Amino acid sequence: MKLKVITSNPGKVAEYRRSLSDLGLEMEHLRLPYDEVQTSDLEEVVNKGMDEIIAKGVRDFIVDDSGLFVDALKGFPGVWSAYAQKTIGNGGILKLMEGVEDRGAEFRCCIGCDIDGRRIVVTGVCRGSITLSEAGSEGFGFDPIFTHDGRRTFAEIPIEEKNDVSHRGNAVRLLAEQLKKMGLVG
Ligand code: IMP
C-alpha cells in the first residue's frame, strides 16, 4: 500500500520511509498546505488537519505535528514550537528558564494516519529536561537544549540513538503496532 506523507519537510518523508518500509508501506511526498487550528492540543491540530485534507478528496496519508512542552512554562512552546524556534530560539527558552529549578520538559509527536478509510492517531512522548546552556551540533530545533538522560543533549547523540528514544520514534512505533493490530499491514 502507498501512503502520502503530507508535509513541507522532505526529511520527514525519509524518516517515515526508513521506519515503515519494513511493513510493506510505500511512502510518497505530497506538499498540500492545510490550516493548523489555534489550540494547545497537538491531537486536535492533527485531527482537524486530517478532516480538511479528506474534505479536499485526499485519502491514504500521514500527517504529524510535534513540539516541546516545558513544565515550568505551563507547556509553552508546545503547539507554537516552530514559531518560538523561529522567533526567540533556543536562547530565548534558556532566558525564560533562568533561575528556574524545575527543568522538566517533554517532546511530543502526534501522527495521524488515514488508511483504507480508517483513522489512526497516536502520540509519542520523550521525557527529559532543559539544559542550562546549549550543547552539540547534531539534529535541529530544540535539540541543543534538551536532554533525555541528563548527560547529553539530543544534539550530542547520533540520529539512530535519538530515534530509539525520541517522541517521533515512539510515535512511529505506536503507529506500526496499531497498523499490525488492525491487520492493515503484514
Ligand atoms: P513540526 O512537527 O515540524 O511542526 O515541528 C514543530 C517544531 O517543534 C519544530 O520546528 C521544532 O522547533 C520543534 N521540534 C519538533 N521535533 C523536534 C525534535 O526532534 N528536535 C528538536 N526540535 C523539535
Q: How confident is the model at residue 4 (pLDDT cuts 50, 70, 90)?
A: very high
Global pTM?
Answer: 0.94
Indicate the burial class of 142 (C-beta count within 10 angstroms; 0-12, 13-18, 19 or more).
Answer: buried
Q: For residue 159, give every residue at least 6 positions away whose Cβ sits within 8 Å of its Cβ, in sequence order, or none.
A: 138, 139
Q: What is the percentage of the chain residues whose pLDDT exceeds 70?
A: 100
| 30, 6 contact by CB (below 8 A) | yes
Q: Dihedral sign for Cα 125, 88, 143, 10, please.
A: positive
Q: Hey, which residues are catalytic here? A: 65
Residue 20 pLDDT > 90: no
User: How far, in Å, from the CA of 186 to the mean position of ligand 1?
Assistant: 31
* SS3 at position 128: strand
H-helix segments, the chain: 10-20, 42-55, 81-87, 89-96, 159-165, 167-181
Q: How confident is the model at residue 9 (pLDDT cuts 50, 70, 90)?
A: confident
User: How far, in Å, from the CA of 47 to the mean position of ligand 1?
Assistant: 18
Q: What is the mean pLDDT of residues 164-174?
A: 95
Q: What is the biggest distance separating any 2 CA atoms in the chain, rounded to whole angstroms? A: 52
Q: How confident is the model at residue 34 (pLDDT cuts 50, 70, 90)?
A: confident
Q: What pLDDT, on a 0 to 100 scale, did the predictor assign at position 178?
A: 95
66 lines ligand 1 (CB under 6 A): yes
Residue 37 pLDDT > 90: no
Instruction: Name the residue at shortest CA distance from atom 5 of ligand 1.
Output: 66
DSSP character for 57? Answer: T
82 lines ligand 1 (CB under 6 A): yes
User: How far, in Å, from the CA of 82 to the mean position of ligand 1?
Assistant: 6
The architecture in CATH of the region 2-181 reads: Alpha-Beta Complex (3.90)
CA–CA separation, 159 vs 7, rounded Å? 20
